[in-house]
Chains A and B, each alone.
Chain A
Amino acid sequence: MFPFNFEWIWDAGHLVFMGGLWYALTILGLGLTYCIIKAAYDSFKGQGADHH
């Protein structure tokens, strides 16, 4: 649910629930995006990680 949906209400319940969900999803999305972009960059540059 987003704030532009008709059932959205600006109250604490919606802010906490939906805010928490989008906060977590944003962290995961940004983290994964960083990994993908850096992997593509490193591969393009020919740099490889030697170990994990």
Chain B
Amino acid sequence: MDSALIPKGVKRCPTWQFLLWIGAVSGVLLWGVLAMILVYFKGLNQTNMNNAYGFALWIWADLAIIALGGGAFFTGFLRYIVGKDELKNIVNFAVLVGFYCYVSALMILGFDIGQPLRGWFIFWHANVHSMLTEVAFCLSAYLGVLAIEYLPLILENRQIDKVPFFHNMSHNMHEIMAVFAATGAFLSFFHQGSLGGVPGVLFARPFGFREGVFVWPWTFFLFTWSAAACGPCFTILITKITETAARKKLVKDNVIELLAKISGWMLATYITAKIIDTIYWAVVTAPSKGFNFLDFYSNNSGSWYGLWILIAEIGLCGIVPAAILITDKGRKTPATLWLAVILAVVGVCLNRWVMVLQVLAIPVLSFQSWNLYFPSWQEVATTLLPVALGIISISISYRYLPIFPQELELNPPDSPPAEQVAEEPAEASEGEMEPAEA
């Protein structure tokens, strides 16, 4: 039914099967929409946020999604600025994943600000002393960059590409993509960093507070570093999930291995810096504020925030994936590659949880007790809403756009459809899908 829209030569599942899949995910989407309507019409009383938790599940989801979406800026940086040419075969998908990560992040922020109609105030009445103002600026502008990087992919749809203006537009955008990628790397560096700067400058919250250089606490650099390390792992993970769902190979192993290797070394250096930062904070910074290291990990009900969380974040989800990814055998073995990218993704999400929610949970005055928080169903549903939207959008993009330039080479058609041969015999004989380099 929709075969005219599907890229030439590639195989996709039947339309009914595709619609069934979209319908199943739409169930979660509708649940999220219901919660969204409640939040918009009834207000933030639909959440379990309170005076202790002005930042809660939504902000954690924002930070985690933005870190995972970091695969787009770092892969783009490696491809266009550093010149890692092999990555042209995965950069499209990294952009796609990154775009929906940032759409999700801004959508969640739209719920979180409580008065979305006044969202533009942060641009017009900017508080230039706030890290969050910088985050809002760079986040919005970077979403624009990702939209620009995603646009040529849409224009390369088989039918849209037939229009000369769109064909030329797509070509021109590829020509100057390095300019957009460089702008994106600049914006990403600052907003990833400023998100880390937010807990780092909390002088009255010794768990989050860090020293640093000029106005930037060390968490500024650690957040950017971890996003650059773990974002590509998320890109690899989603690529592997897509390959599993599609039951075929979409990217050659050497491309995945290169990205995994770079990601592994980024992760190894990041986790080394994180360990040094943690030791300095535990031995120097926290005691200077009147706290012992174990004050932050003990005497809370159910041991939600025990030492286990530190060991899980740094050891299990930091050192282990880094050790796997920097070894040739670890990257080449599918099981260990899967394990490493999953652990790295969980690790960066755990780091964001700790830096947003554990910071707020810990008592800072002697008469206070631990503040524990559990999100309401509306918060959970609205957090899953953009995830469902992302799954649907990525599914549609994969079906109709030439996302993976190596797909046709890796999955040659047994016999080209007769109508295609009759339509464009010269191109059909080339046997290769036109690579999209954005």
Point out residues on A near B: beta carbons under 8 Å: 1, 5, 7, 13-14, 16-18, 20-21, 24-25, 27-28, 31-32, 34-36, 38-40, 42-43, 46-49, 51-52
In angstroms, Cα B164 to Cα A46, docked, is: 8
Flag the segment in B19-27, B36-44, B120-128, B392-400 that touches A: B120-128
Contact partner, A48, options B144, B164, B183, Cβ 8 Å: B164
Q: Please tell me if the beta carbons of B148 and A28 are within 8 angstroms of each other in the complex.
A: yes
Identify B168's interface contact among A1, A14, A27, A38, CB under 8 A.
A38
* Total inter-chain residue pairs, C-beta < 8 Å: 83
Residue B33 CB within 8 A of the other chain: no
Instruction: Give the segment of B2-10, B170-178, B203-211 that binds chain A.
Output: B170-178
- Residue of B141, B168, B435 touching A43 (CB-CB under 8 A): B168
Distance of A43 Cα from B155 Cα, bound (Å): 15
- Verify B187–A24 contact, CB threshold 8 A: yes
Separation in Å of the A44 CB from the closest CB of chain B?
9
Contact (Cβ within 8 A) B137 A13: no
Per-residue CB proximity of B132-173 to A under 8 Å, as 1/0? 011001100100110010001000100000001111111111
Q: Indicate whether A34 sits within 8 Å of B172 (C-beta atoms), given known contacts A1-B125, A13-B129, A18-B126.
A: yes
15 additional contacts, CB 8 Å, given A1-B126, A24-B183, A38-B172? A1-B123, A17-B133, A18-B128, A28-B145, A28-B148, A34-B172, A35-B172, A36-B169, A39-B171, A48-B164, A48-B167, A52-B156, A52-B170, A52-B171, A52-B434
Question: Can you report 29 residue pairs joining A to B where beta carbons are below 8 Å apart?
Answer: A1-B123, A1-B124, A1-B126, A5-B124, A13-B128, A13-B129, A14-B128, A17-B128, A17-B134, A20-B137, A21-B123, A24-B186, A24-B187, A25-B144, A27-B179, A28-B145, A28-B183, A32-B148, A35-B173, A36-B169, A39-B168, A39-B171, A46-B164, A52-B152, A52-B156, A52-B170, A52-B171, A52-B434, A52-B437
- How many residues of chain B have a CB within 8 Å of chain A? 38
* A28 / chain B contacts, CB cutoff of 8 Å: 141, 144-145, 148, 180, 183
Is B362 an interface residue when CB atoms closer than 8 A count as contact?
A: no
Give chain B's interface residues, CB within 8 Å of chain A: 123-126, 128-129, 133-134, 137-138, 141, 144-145, 148, 152, 156, 164-174, 176, 179-180, 183, 186-187, 190, 434-437
Residue of B133, B138, B164 with highest tally of chain A CB at under 10 A: B164
